[in-house]
Amino acid sequence: MAERVREAFEASGIVCEEGPVDTTVSIGVAGGPAGTELEVLLAAADTALYQAKRSGRNRVEAAEELPLSLENWRRKTAGTARPLQPQPSLTRLA
C-alpha cells in the first residue's frame, strides 16, 4: 500500500503558475503484533523514513519486527544506528 501511495504522489501531476512540479515522497513503514506500543511503532517508522531518505529518497523502507515495549526497544537499540526492517501497518511520510 505504501508503494502505491508513493507512486500516486509521484504521478500526481501538480502544476503551478511556473509549470509542472516534480513531486516525490519518502515513506517509513513499521508494524508489529497487537499490543505493540504506539511509541515503538512511531520510532521504528521514523527510523525507516530516515533510512529511505539516506538511500536516495522517493522510496519506501520498512522497519524490522519490534518488541512490545518501548523500554525493551530502547534497550535493544541503545548504541546502534542500524535501520530497522518490518511488517507494514504504520506509515510515516516526509
Q: Is 80 exceeded by the pLDDT of residue 70?
A: no
Q: Which residue has the higher pLDDT, 21 or 67?
A: 21
The per-residue pLDDT for range 4-37, each reduced to its tens digit, is 999 999 999 899 999 999 999 999 999 888 888 8
The side-by-side arrangement of strands in the sheet containing 27-30 is 60-62, 27-30, 90-93
Residues 75-83 have a mean pLDDT of 59
Q: What is the reported pTM?
A: 0.65
- Residue 2: closest CA among 37, 26, 22, 23: 26
The Cα–Cα gap between 55 and 68 comes to 28
Point out the least confidently predicted range of 44-48, 60-64, 74-78: 74-78
